Structure 1
Amino acid sequence: MPKYRKKPIIVEAVKLTRSITVETSNGTMKGLPGDYLITDENGEQYPCDRDQFEADYELVKGQIHLKELFQKSFMFLKTKIYKT
């Protein structure tokens, strides 16, 4: 999952593709397509309006995306297995 930085806090976030409802410590919150679902450093999740998110957060550079790394490694191994 990509990581984003809220100056100076780092959170994980994904852009929503459908409407969701999330129970938070502040009550029930609704996220709409295009909004972001944030997971903070305590593990709590909450939706954030796209415009507000993009104003407050920036993508953390130089991070390792494990999912992409595993996919590339699997494809490399798969290619080597078929060639031998």
Structure 2
Amino acid sequence: MARYRKKPVEIEAVRYDGTNRNEVAAFMGRLGKVEERKLPGPGRGMHDGIVIHTLEGDMTASVGDWIIRGVQGEFYPCKPDIFAATYEAVTG
């Protein structure tokens, strides 16, 4: 079986902290609209989050999730643990 390695790719991202809806919307520009909403959480509770309206459909992000601009200009949310395991800060 052949093995493959993910190519190193630089991305831009902003972390949604529950108070920066406008920052997320500005980051996405005209390509996406952001709407604050209560989302179903684990168990029976509801929690703060955002719905990102994109050409690919609606995606939800919870407080703490990263919003990523992909290599083709697409946007999508990423959970903090996956973000930390996949990306590192670029300096310079």
TM-score range, shorter chain: 0.5 to 0.7
State the TM-score, normalized to the length of structure 2: 0.53
Shift of 1:15: 0.8
Aligned residue identity for 2:66: Y
Gaps in structure 2 of 5+ consecutive residues? 1-5, 19-48
Gaps of 5+ in 1: 1-5, 63-84
How do 1:34-53 and structure 2 match up within 5 A? Answer: 34-53=64-83
Deviation at 1:26, TM superposition (A): 4.9
Percentage identity across aligned positions? Answer: 44
Q: Which has the higher helix share?
A: 1
SS in 2 for 1:52: helix
Shift of 1:27: 3.4
Write the deviation string for residues 12-66 of structure 1: whole angstroms up to 9, x where unpaired: 001101221123465322101111000112211111001111110001111xxxx
Q: Cα RMSD between the aligned structures?
A: 1.9
The AA in structure 1 aligned to 2:85 is: A
Q: How many residues align?
A: 57
- Normalising to structure 1: TM-score of the pair? 0.58
Q: For residue 41 of structure 1, give the secondary structure of its aligned residue in structure 2.
A: coil
Assess, with a 3 A threshold, how the Cα gap between structure 1 residues 17 and 7 changes in structure 2: closer, same or farther.
Answer: farther
